[in-house]
């Protein structure tokens, strides 16, 4: 049965607990640990290998998420639960984290990273359906705000762990946090819900669907460019001489993600005055300002200001982004619909380093400092394109109602 129309915010919070654990892992791995492991394994070729790892991981993530989504929706259609996929994916990911942080050979590192992508995305595919599945439409914006806050908080915790703890200790802490976060929300997530099918819901792809996907993809292209090249930006900076680059990059990500929690809360307050599209655009604009600072300047002051401004904007965008997704996905195939929608997040993991790599080969920036600033310039352009694309979405009085939009 559904939670109902009188669901309280704490229930929305319980649904978001697992997202905290997922983002702890990604905040640690994608923000710091992947780069650290590549530098220790490949030395001077680390930046080149990063593009390979990111691209291969994105391909595996897409395949794993689509397969898991189809299995998940099939289970729901038969009156079952999505719970088994949460468990299988989480346990696979936990084992992969240990291997990723302890294996010494390049081949084992690559295999562990791909296995991590499989496990995480097997669990993520059914989980993305949680907000529209368990919360009525009037509660979905609150649920989306909780997810955005948990994402920022999880990224911050992951960055702290990656920056301060040893790799062997990290290999213990990360799996425990991932499994523990699932345990906290498992009772709600494993609940069997009535399958709701609205025969009046249009199934054709409209221009609005394409605009939402395209704008989201461009914005996440910029995000993964920033996340992937921040470590190299720090390595090339002057203040990285006296302090470990790993510590500085981790601290910047912590600051970015903690202010993201505040950004998500602010977006919740803006929700009473602004529609979802406008809230998202305000957040993107703030993130673009931060990216421009990275691209044009250096120094600890710029790093601090950009992290705060960018974090506030990113948290606001994420809050609106999840609510848009909840409006978009059809009720008779929620997990698969979200998996397709989430390609706008997964594909940028492949294309972000690839685009920078191709353009850098043409422009030939010298060293990690120039390469990272060049990458941030590309990210700024991607954010501008994403924001302009978002303007094309039609507006409504309170929120985007993509289900009711006809082809124009």
Calculate the CA 322 to chain-centre distance: 11
Domain boundaries, the chain: 9-397
The secondary structure element, H or E, covering residue 119 is helix 106-127
CA distance 145 to 262: 10
pLDDT digits (tens, 9 = 90+) for 43-57: 767 767 877 888 888
State mean pLDDT over 382-396: 82
Contact 237, 297 (CB under 8 A): no
What is the average pLDDT value for the chain, to the nearest integer? 80
**Of 82, 87, 60, which Cα lies nearest the Cα of 333?**
82
407 to 200, 202, 208, 331, 403: CA distances (angstroms)? 15, 9, 8, 20, 11
Query: Would you say residue 197 has pLDDT above 60?
Result: no
On whether the CB atoms of residues 379 and 218 are closer than 8 A, the answer is: no
Q: Which two tokens stand for residue 237?
A: 């900076």
DSSP for 326-389, written as a single string: HHHS-GGGHHHHHHHHTHHHHHHHHHHHHHHHHHHHHH---HHHHHHHHHHHHHHHHHHHHHHH
- The Cα–Cα gap between 366 and 101 comes to 30
- The mean pLDDT of 281-309, rounded to a whole number, is 89
Residues 6+ apart with CB under 8 A from 282: 270, 274, 313, 316
Say what the alpha-carbon torsion angle 188, 189, 191, 192 is, to the nearest 10 degrees.
150
pLDDT of amino acid 202 = 47
What sign results for the dihedral spanned by CA atoms 235, 306, 356, 317?
positive
Confidence of residue 91 (pLDDT cuts 50, 70, 90): very high
Name the residue among 248, 244, 321 with its Cα closest to residue 280: 321
pLDDT level of residue 199 (50, 70, 90 thresholds): very low
> Is the predicted pLDDT of residue 70 greater than 90, yes or no?
no
Three-state secondary-structure class, residue 136: coil
Query: Could you give the CA distance from residue 401 to residue 398 in angstroms, rounded to a whole number?
Result: 9
- pLDDT tens digits for 132-189? 777 666 666 667 777 778 888 888 899 889 888 889 999 999 999 999 999 988 887 8
Which of 90, 88, 98 has the alpha carbon at shortest distance from 33?
A: 98
Percent of the chain at pLDDT exceeding 70: 80
Interatomic CA distance for residues 91 and 317, integer angstroms: 31
CA distances from 98 to 51, 105, 119, 175 (A): 22, 14, 13, 8
pLDDT band at 328 (very low <50, low <70, confident <90, very high): low
Looking at the chain, how many residues does it have?
408
Per-residue model confidence (pLDDT) at position 402:
37
Determine the Cα–Cα distance for residues 183 and 186; give it in Å rounded to an integer: 5
DSSP output for 269-334: HHTTTS-HHHHHHHHHHHHHHHHHHHHH--SHHHHHHHHHHHHHHHHHHHHHHHHHHHHHS-GGGH
Assess whether pLDDT exceeds 60 at residue 10: yes
Give the integer Cα–Cα distance in Å for 308 and 298.
Answer: 15
| Mean per-residue pLDDT, 10-24 | 83
Query: Is it the case that residue 333 has pLDDT exceeding 60?
Result: no
Direct distance between the N- and C-terminal alpha carbons of the chain, in angstroms, rounded to an integer: 36
Tell me the pLDDT band of 206, cut-offs 50, 70 and 90.
low
Report the number of secondary-structure helices (H) and strands (E) in the chain.
15, 0
Residue 67 makes CB contacts below 8 A (sequence gap 6+) with 122
> What gap in Å lies between CA 380 and CA 93, rounded to an integer?
33
Q: What is the pLDDT of residue 397?
A: 43
What is the distance between the alpha carbons of residues 193 and 218, in angstroms, rounded to a whole number? 34
| Confidence band, pLDDT 50/70/90 cuts, at residue 403 | very low
Residue 109 confidence (pLDDT)? 92
Return the CATH superfamily for domain 9-397. Answer: MFS general substrate transporter like domains (1.20.1250.20)
């Amino acid at each position: 049965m559904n939670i109902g129309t009188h669901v309280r915010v704490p229930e929305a919070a319980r649904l978001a607990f697992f997202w905290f654990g997922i983002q702890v892992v990604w905040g640690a791995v994608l923000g710091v640990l992947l780069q650290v492991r590549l530098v220790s394994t490949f030395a001077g070729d680390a930046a080149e290998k990063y593009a390979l790892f990111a691209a291969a991981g994105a391909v595996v993530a897409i395949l794993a998420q689509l397969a898991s989504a189809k299995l998940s929706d099939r289970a729901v259609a038969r009156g079952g639960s999505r719970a088994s996929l949460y468990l299988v994916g989480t346990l696979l990911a936990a084992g992969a984290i240990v291997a990723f942080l302890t294996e010494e050979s390049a081949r084992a590192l690559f295999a562990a990273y791909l296995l991590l992508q499989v496990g995480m995305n097997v669990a993520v595919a059914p989980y993305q359906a949680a907000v529209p599945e368990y919360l009525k439409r009037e509660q979905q914006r609150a649920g989306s705000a909780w997810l955005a806050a948990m994402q920022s908080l999880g990224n911050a915790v992951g960055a702290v762990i990656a920056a301060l703890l040893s790799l062997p200790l990290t290999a213990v802490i990360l799996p425990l946090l991932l499994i523990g976060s699932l345990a906290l929300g498992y009772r709600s997530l494993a609940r069997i819900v009535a399958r709701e099918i609205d025969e009046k819901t249009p199934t054709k792809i409209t221009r609005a669907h394409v605009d939402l996907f395209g704008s989201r993809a461009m914005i996440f292209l910029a995000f993964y460019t920033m996340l992937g090249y921040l470590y190299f930006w720090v390595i090339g900076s002057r203040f990285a001489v006296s302090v470990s680059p790993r510590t500085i990059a981790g601290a910047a990500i912590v600051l970015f993600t903690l202010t993201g929690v505040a950004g998500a809360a602010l977006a919740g307050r803006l929700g009473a005055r602004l529609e979802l599209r406008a809230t998202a655009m305000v957040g993107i604009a703030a993130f673009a300002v931060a990216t421009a600072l990275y691209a044009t300047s250096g120094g600890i002051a710029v790093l601090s200001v950009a992290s705060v401004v960018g974090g506030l904007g990113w948290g606001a965008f994420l809050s609106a982004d999840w609510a848009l997704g909840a409006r978009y996905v059809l009720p008779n195939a929620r997990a698969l619909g979200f998996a397709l929608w989430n390609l706008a997040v997964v594909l940028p993991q492949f294309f972000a380093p690839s685009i920078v790599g191709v353009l850098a080969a043409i422009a030939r920036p010298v060293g990690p400092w120039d390469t990272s600033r060049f990458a941030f310039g590309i990210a700024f352009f991607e954010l501008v394109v994403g924001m302009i694309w978002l303007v094309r979405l039609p507006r409504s009085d309170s929120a985007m109602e993509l289900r009711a939009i006809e082809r124009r």
